[in-house]
Structure 1
Amino acid sequence: MKKTYLMLLLALAGLGSSCTNEDGTEGVTPSGDPGEIQLVFSGSGEEEEYTKAIASDSENKISKLDVYLFGAASASTNDADYHYIETWKMTEATPTGNQFILQPSGSSWTASIKPNELKGLPYLTLVCVANQDKLFDADGNDFAALDVVTTDAGTGDITAAGTTLDAFKAAYTAKMADPATDFIKTPLAMTGTGTTKISGSVSKVAITLKRIVARFDIDNTTATSQLTIEKVSMGKGRSNGSLFGATLTDAAAGDLVTYKDVDFTGENANQGTLESAIYVYPNIPGDESFLIIKGKYKSPSTGEQIAVTYNIPVVKTPADAKPDDPANYIAINANSRYKLRITDVTESNIYSTFEVEDWTSGGGVIIKPDNTKPEFNKFAGTNPPTDLTGGYYRTLADGTFDIVMTSTGELEYSRSLVTKAGDEIDWLTVGTPTTEQKDGLTITTFPVTIADATGKRPVSLTFINQAASYDPDLQTTLTFVGPEAAPVVSEVVEGHSEGNSVDVTSPDAPEATMVKAVGSYVSLNVFCVDGLADITVPNGYSVTPVVTEGFTTTYRVAITDADQAADDATVVFKNKAAEANSITLTIKHKKASQPSIVANSDGSYINSTYNSGTMGGTATAATADMYLIDGSTIYVKVTCTESTTAGAVTVAAPAGVTVTEETAAPGIFKIEIPTATSLTAGTAVTVTFKNATDEMVTSTLEITPKSMKPTVALADDNGAVTGSDGTYTVDLSALSTNTFTLTVTAPTGATIADLSTPFTSAGWLKLDDSNAGGTTIAANGNQVYTFTSGDSSGDTGDVTLTFTNTVSGGGDLTVTLKKKTTI
């Protein structure tokens, strides 16, 4: 594999007369001051070619650059022969002393240093260290101050040795002080070295600048994998990394750590490849490092979002591997990209592959010096834009103007958004250009129309020299932004805790609904091209920026003090360029929900067989019947939206009823009547369920106790029968040839041993053959018994009918029929 790294090129800006190189070949001497080293920092050192790094602006950024100079008496390749002379530092102010300014120039940056020449040490090694505040030795301690070499002014012999280059290269990056709170961020540390010779003329040096960390990209699409990644980190990762690619050995105790979780957010998070998900220090296979993926997995059977954590070893699988072969761990190398491509996910496993690539693309573009880049001349027309700092031009909301460009040939243009996200590009359109020739140059006028530009993303116009249209160094870009606008708030999907939410239905008046508890938070995106002014945070809350993508910053609004966090508090996001343009987020505290009472659906919890468990009423005012018997039980499900954990709902039970939550199944409540005599049949009692977060918010379950004892009713007595409640007196003379009936009802069913024995010695009464009734009564059924005068009118014994309840302990019924005596 051809490796093409991001490189730092220290080259010459101009060319002059030839000179003789060390090997005797003829070279060219660039123009400049004697002893000057002119620097050109660009993408590659491959002669006149350069490559564009596959990296973000922040990964390419050089915010700090130190150039350490080491000198030697000969062109030695032994680092121990080079001694420290001095350091040059990048500055953005007016350079003084050993300082230089890094200036953009097309695809490169230019700078110039003029080192102090030291007698006897004409050969220089330049060591460049970018974006690194301090140097640390291999033990993680501060690197000692560098000793400056001195030489004899006459002979050039070294009189006091300086810090040698090999000692300097033992420097390491800063160890992460606490992996639980620290992680690798951009701008990234980069280093590179090169050599030259001070010869009294301008020198050039080519230096390859490399990042000292590796980058992981993660390819996951929730729609197909059902996995929503929320956090990513590294397990058994190195806590430091070599600035100069020192050979790694087995990790010492404490060097392998678990990195802090990094939020998995960005434009393509869970919608394809998220680049730069995490940065890590290089390692060796023996470290057995693994990625840690945390998030939510959507169960294919229930649809439930399940919290999951996966440990994914950084391994490769040989073509001839067997299923039981151990994992083949690979080294994580500096300045390389590792893409984790997720192909399938279950609740317990991720199926994925690693792809390893250089951090730079292959190939290059030939620079054509004869075709210079187009030059911006001026704005003309009715509504010319105004120049803003940062390379932007502000337009009116609507209007027209002309862009006048000067070039060595014909121009074309392309139009694009500054950021990937969004589609608001048509607020700026370009008409047909006109050209004229003047002084050997082409003057091109591009007519521009602006329409409804307020609040839109900036649009860039790139003017391209047609003779070198594929060469970015020969292109000029102008970027336009509309008038100052109020920030725009949008919700962050899966960005809230505690069931909180953000409502942007009314874009001018967004609202956040939050549970009033410490740590409760919502997330929201705030889009503003001009940036935001300082945010005034209400008491009891925090407003923290999480990540910025283009002109959109994700903020987390959290409750830090529940006592001070007021309902209807507001957070105002103001346009930094015009604070009157603002948007106000109103925070409303989430009101406790009424518990919902529904029938139990968990088959592990069964009602008493005689209780149906049927629910009536509503979910907040439910009703149910329970039979009166010791231990009578039903189960109901009671939940609130805030939480499904045990204790989220509390309960107040009336006398005679016990209610307990099943700890193994939160939300399932057992309702029991321990002693039937403690309640009265038909007299309802009420169980009150309360939301634990606010026990003033309640729902009720009204329970009506029902007797299980069979009952009897007299009918069609024909004036021959008196009595009630199962004891009746029969006037046989009045009965004569007539009949009367008894209807026996059994809520849970009943039986009678037989219907003949009770009439022994009581032959004055008998059952009518046409409607004698049966010995078994079904649950919630009845039997009708019809009586008439018997064949032995002289008998006087009582007829006793005993109906036994099917449910033991439910109560039996005894019916006694007495013969009326005549005086």
Structure 2
Amino acid sequence: MNVKSLLTLLAFSGLAASCSNSELGEPGDRPTDGRAEIQIAFSGTGESQEYTRAIASESENKIDQLHIYLFAAAAQTGPFYYLETWTEGADYNPTTPTATNFKIQDAGTSKKGILYPNELKGLPWIKLLCVANNGTTPKFYDETGAEVLNPLTKVVTDAAGTVTTPGTTETDFKAAFAENNAGGTLIETPLLMTGEGITKISGVSKVDINLKRVVSRFDIVNDKAKTNLTIQDIYMVQGRQSAPLWGATVTKVEKANLATDADYLTRYATVNFKAIPGANTGETASAFYVYPNLDTDESYLVIKGTYKSPATGKQEPVEYHVDIARTPDGATKAEFIKLLANNRYKLRISDVTSSNIMGTFEVVDWVSGGGITIKPSNDAPVFVAADAFTGANAPTELTALNTEASPYNYEVTGAAGTGSFTIEIGATGKVRAEKDAVQPLTRAEGDGGEVITPQSWLVISEPTCTERDGVWYTKFDISYSDAVGVSPVAVHFINDAASYDPALWTTVNFYGQKSVPTFAAAAAGTGSTGNTTNVTDPKAPTAEIYTLLNGHVLFDVTCVEGITVGTTATGYKAEEIAMNGFVHTYKVSVSDGNSAAGGTIVFQNAGDAAKTTTLTLTAADPKMTFEKSTDDKNAATWEEGSKTLKIDLGALADGTCDFKINAPAGVTIASLACPWLKITETKAWNNTDKSATYTISKASSVTGTGDVTLNFVNGLTQADKNIAAPGLAVILHKEAGRPGLSAGTTVASWSTFNKGLDNDFSNSAASAITMYKVDNSQITVNMTCAEAAEFETVSGLTIEKIGSTDEYTVKVSAAASLAAGATTVVTAKNSAATDRTATLTITWKSPAITVELTDDASGAVTKSTDGESIVYTVDTDAITTTPFTFTVTAPGGAGADFTTAIANQFLAPDDSNAGSDAIAAGTPSAYTLKLSDAGKTDDITLVFANTVTGGGDKTVILRSSKKVVP
């Protein structure tokens, strides 16, 4: 059903306001032990005119079964610890000081009582926490109904006044709730009340205590003669089962659990409304009471009765559900309201049909029997703007913005936002000052609901008061500092002798000096996916926005005077989308994705265009990119222009290949299916490297080889925000087979001297091997390919297939015909797709034997040649004591009849000679010789026979210098 409910916020808290301590008369019977006395006044209401509509009933004002819990502390600020409990009943008897009883006495519209606390040394401050109408043996509970604070533990101090046992603390005590009303029974009078006061023990102390009810009251206004509705029953649904005695925070019930949460919410018992005297004839006061709730409880009333149909004149049974809600000014949707303790809510039913009920909710005053005191209008403090800042204390650093009526507005103008001034206020009584926010609370001041400390840049001193000619003049010294760009402060000057009525306050609003707009991260979020903001310096903000239409970021920009947008970068726009107090939420977005390339946007103070803050924008590319990663078999090739990954399935074989999809804000894909590949996501996208990794391998069963397109979706795509980020379509194309090379296995077909030389077939498409460059030097190599393949012809080489196998011999048929150079490349190619090749790089090794003179310390040996032979002529006179050494290196090994050839000659092996008849392949062999018989002059001929066929032998002739050569 459609119900429009309006809440008028005119709440007046408390049974009555207390402005000053009352004279309670002479003390009662004082104890003989010198203990201090505390006189307590439980205030009634004022002495003047009354709002008769707001009078509470006698039972609602009844104070019964009063218990006062005393908590003691060393300082006024606490912490406070439980001391003792005083109970209403008989008069205090000094002869039995442990019996902490007192008696309440009527004192006009108030009540009074006297306590004599059992003071502890070191704890002179006493806080009195009063609970009325809580039974003769009060009990306290937690929110779920479990009993707590039983028993209360008293504080213990030592002889020096130091607390040794804290006992029950004030914090623990104030966390208590009323008894759990799990059954939703009717709450009846007398009503549970609480109140508190504080004093310091010093002889006789006087304390005013204001008791407040912990429940909310509902009045119903229905005239059946006008509405045709006769209400029979009424009850509330989703009401609270308990209430905090001292304002403790209640647990919020999640929306999904509102109808079922039995721990905190309940349906209240039905009120037999028609049984209430005067029901349905106008206003029915005190129809029922409920515990306070939260607006998120979404509490509602169920009204049952009969409706007289205008058409038939018959009474029809009806039932209405009325949300306890309001519709704010200018809004179209009702909002649930929060019921507060000690407030009265009036449902005024104005129009009814058989299916709908129209009415309004009001919050109205609920005070004690005497009513609300209304002070004459001239009790408002008098502030004459033209004279307020004149004379010796007139400041030069303050500028009036208006001087006609409250609220008065002033801007501070002191150097660096620092200065001071004095205000003097006239009134019928002493005046106090209270600070408040000029505008609704900003994010800097609070998110709502909590108690907020007014801006601290404005400091108001304790006032001084003087009375002249029946008028009280109150003087305030006010100072300010760092008042640049701060939220303005409203200072309310309140006449203590007048009613606590905002209409009788005089308000002066103080504004700080104008400042540049300051940026903060938006409470509503950062904006479109992937975009980022940086407000580390609130006056030099930056943002990175992907160049997509309507891609945006959000900022909360604070500026008291308002904001205008100055120059704006091409392709971007800035627009205000919300305002909370002085905080303006701006949406900075891409208006043209083609022209947006970064730049700046200037935000100006609306009150001073010279005060600006520049937002720097960086354009981010929204595209996704492909990156080939690991490819062990060198089986894949990426072609950027066509966005094609070409894969050699034969080369891939049992191997794998990885590729990355780089995406700015996430990547998804509907399917990775391919009939000839297995594709798996092996690393999901993350915000660190902004990429996802995929691994491909050959499918276990190949069912087709056609091209497959993988459509990767960009995480920036947001259809609901008209943002279309480009995705990435990757084409998988099966390439024609590339020949694959591997080492031959037919050992018998290898040249003996080639065995054991270096080879590397780890890359089947680019293999390498070392061979001796000599005729008939031969190795074997395997070549495989999914299709027909062949080796290209190389001059000087013969490449022949061995039978029907995949093995080929590679033989040097004419070493002299090989192209010059240290290497020769042999290419194998797919016969049909000649660009699909594999190569074998042959590094040539010379088989020739080399001889070097490596040690001739005496200089006795001279080298010469005789044809292909090397001749070492030895001066036998010079090597009498010093041997010489030559070294022979045979790449494939060599043999020599050294032992026989050197026997009984003019030279002999030195004792350290390492020479022998056999030379290991590739290992230098040293021959160290010494003089044996200088009288012998025959040549010593050493022939080193190369084991590599065609590699050539090497002859070394050792000749005595005394030999006569013809």
Q: Normalising by the residue count of structure 2, what TM-score does the alignment of the two structures yield?
A: 0.34
